[in-house]
């Protein structure tokens, strides 16, 4: 009998993705992430980076990384529970907790690792997780790793959340623990979760609240402190605030903030934290420097919102639909996936880098160009990008 090739399915399934135009074609950034950068050999205006405050190329962050390499080396040498727990990691967590107004913070290797590692440890058999229907894939994977029952409430619909929690209270046997999870800012649409209403509803049902604020940090709240600050909520109302250093902070890494008990529990139970190498000294030092910048240079957050308001108003004035966005994530709704991809390719030819978001990341008829504002974009940058957007919109007969 002929021996079957056990990996032949890989090529077959990949080619099916290509034929359906659902594969990722990676572009190459040739230099720093900045408002004007070089991608695939072309000079373009960057409109799709999560580097909201342009901190990834900030001189204070770069110098902090260089200094840390000189004093602490290139790597930590281990996972933190063994021999990779450096003073820089502890300093970062102490500074982050103060910045967030929390008792304690814990730094994970990535935001994905925080969600995948902590969510399944907070819940078990006999518990219930209630999740917003548009939550990020890392939350979905974290929920799937849990043995808890699962329920979904309609996107940002606190009234439906209450219905789900009312039903949960009638469950037999009673649930031991209920965890409500929501994104803070939803990355595809740029809308903000009604966290105040979610927190009130959860409190009334004795449920715990977990918010993924990856796109809210450095953007929302007092000085960019995030969605909990934005709504003026307390740590008694939102028990777990998860975030990332890879967006507005300009570096990389995930984290959670909350009570001291939360952090002690998480560092003892999250396998993604326990079994992954700790951040290189340069990364930890750059993250500390990013907090320094946010605390001492408030102009970056102001510029981000000024650019956002200018850009969104101009795009809407052309006749484009920007959906439910109220943040620096400004989707240009296209509808058809083919048109969205054509739109993106044409923009790149005109010197604007903005990617299409198509099925299965969004519904088949909800394809879009997801633009993301940056604090360092000048008005001339924005005007040049807007002119290209209007030109392509007319070429494809969308406006």
pLDDT on residue 25: 84
> What pairing do the DSSP bridges indicate for beta strands 254-258 and 240-244?
antiparallel
Q: What is the pLDDT of residues 324-380, one digit of tens each?
A: 999 999 999 999 988 999 999 999 999 999 999 988 888 888 999 999 999 999 999
What is the pTM (predicted TM-score) of this model? Answer: 0.95
Report how many helices (DSSP H) and strands (DSSP E) the chain contains, helices first.
Answer: 14, 13
pLDDT on residue 292: 98
pLDDT on residue 256: 98
The full DSSP string for 195-248 is HHHHHHHHHHTT-EEEEE-TTTTTTSSGGG--HHHHTT--TTT--EEEEESSST
DSSP at 279: P
User: Would the pLDDT of 89 be above 70?
Assistant: yes
State the CATH architecture for 20-49+298-395. Alpha-Beta Complex (3.90)
pLDDT on residue 361: 82
Helix (H) or strand (E) holding 384: helix 379-395
Q: How far apart (Å, rounded) are the C-alpha atoms in residues 142 and 100?
A: 24
Could you state, in order of their start, the residue ranges of all structural domains in the chain? 20-49+298-395, 59-296
How far is CA 234 from each of CA 14, 119, 241, rounded to the nearest angstrom? Answer: 47, 21, 11
User: Would the pLDDT of 157 be above 90?
Assistant: yes
Q: What is the pLDDT of residues 226-270, one digit of tens each?
A: 999 999 999 999 999 999 999 999 999 999 999 999 999 999 999
Torsions phi, psi for 382 (to 5 deg): -65, -40
Q: How far apart (Å, rounded) are the C-alpha atoms in residues 371 and 305?
A: 14
What lies within 8 Å, CB to CB, of 225 at 6+ separation is 99, 100, 101, 217
In this structure, what token pair is assigned to residue 370? 């997801």
- Tokens 């996107």 locate to 155
Which residue numbers are catalytic?
A: 187, 215, 247
In this structure, what token pair is assigned to residue 339? 């048109």
Q: Which residues face 183 on adjacent strands?
A: 212
The full DSSP string for 17-75 is HHHTT-S-----B-S---SEEEETTEEEEE-S-S-TT-GGG-HHHHHHHHHHHHHH-S-
CATH class of 59-296: alpha beta
Q: Comparing C-alpha atoms, which of 246, 296, 279, 293 is closest to residue 90?
A: 279
For 125, counting Cβ atoms within 10 Å of its Cβ (0-12 exposed, 13-18 middle, 19+ buried), the class is: exposed
pLDDT on residue 22: 76
Contact by Cβ (8 Å): 55, 377: no
Q: Average pLDDT, stretch 289-294?
A: 98
Q: Comparing C-alpha atoms, which of 380, 314, 369, 340 is closest to residue 47?
A: 369
What lies within 8 Å, CB to CB, of 317 at 6+ separation is none
């Amino acid at each position: 009998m002929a021996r079957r090739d056990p990996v032949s399915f890989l090529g077959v399934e990949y080619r099916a993705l290509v034929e359906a135009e659902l594969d990722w074609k990676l572009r190459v950034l040739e230099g720093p992430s900045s408002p004007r950068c070089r991608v695939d050999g072309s000079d373009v205006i960057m409109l799709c980076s999560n580097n909201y405050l342009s901190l990834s190329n900030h001189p204070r962050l770069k110098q902090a990384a260089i200094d840390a390499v000189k004093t602490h080396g290139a790597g930590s040498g281990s996972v933190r529970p063994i021999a990779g727990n450096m003073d820089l990691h502890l300093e970062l967590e102490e500074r982050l907790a103060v910045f967030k107004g929390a008792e304690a913070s814990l730094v994970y290797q990535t935001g994905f690792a925080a969600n995948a590692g902590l969510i399944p440890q907070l819940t078990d058999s006999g518990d219930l997780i209630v999740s917003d229907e548009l939550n990020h894939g890392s939350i979905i994977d974290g929920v799937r790793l849990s043995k808890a029952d699962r329920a979904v409430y309609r996107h940002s619909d606190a009234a439906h959340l209450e219905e789900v929690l009312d039903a949960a209270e009638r469950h037999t046997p009673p649930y031991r623990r209920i965890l409500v999870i929501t994104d803070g800012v939803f990355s595809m649409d740029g809308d903000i979760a009604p966290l105040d209403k979610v927190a009130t509803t959860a409190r009334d049902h004795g449920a715990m609240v977990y918010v993924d604020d990856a796109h809210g940090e450095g953007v929302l709240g007092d000085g960019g402190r995030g969605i909990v600050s934005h709504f003026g909520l307390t740590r008694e109302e939102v028990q777990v605030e998860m975030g990332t250093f890879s967006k507005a902070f300009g570096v990389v890494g995930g984290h959670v903030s909350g009570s001291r008990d939360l952090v002690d529990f998480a560092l003892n139970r999250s396998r993604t934290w326990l079994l992954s190498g700790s951040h290189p000294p340069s990364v930890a030092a750059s993250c500390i420097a990013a907090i320094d910048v946010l605390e001492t240079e408030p102009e970056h957050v102001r510029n981000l919102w000024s650019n956002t308001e200018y850009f969104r108003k101009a795009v809407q004035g052309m006749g484009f639909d920007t959906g439910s966005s109220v943040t620096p994530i400004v989707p240009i709704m296209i509808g058809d996936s083919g048109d969205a991809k054509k739109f993106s390719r044409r923009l790149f030819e005109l010197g604007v880098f903005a990617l299409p978001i198509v099925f299965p990341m969004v519904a088949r008829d909800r394809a879009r160009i997801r633009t993301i504002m940056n604090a360092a974009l000048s008005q001339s940058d924005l005007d040049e990008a807007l002119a290209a957007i209007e030109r392509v919109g007319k070429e494809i007969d969308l406006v």
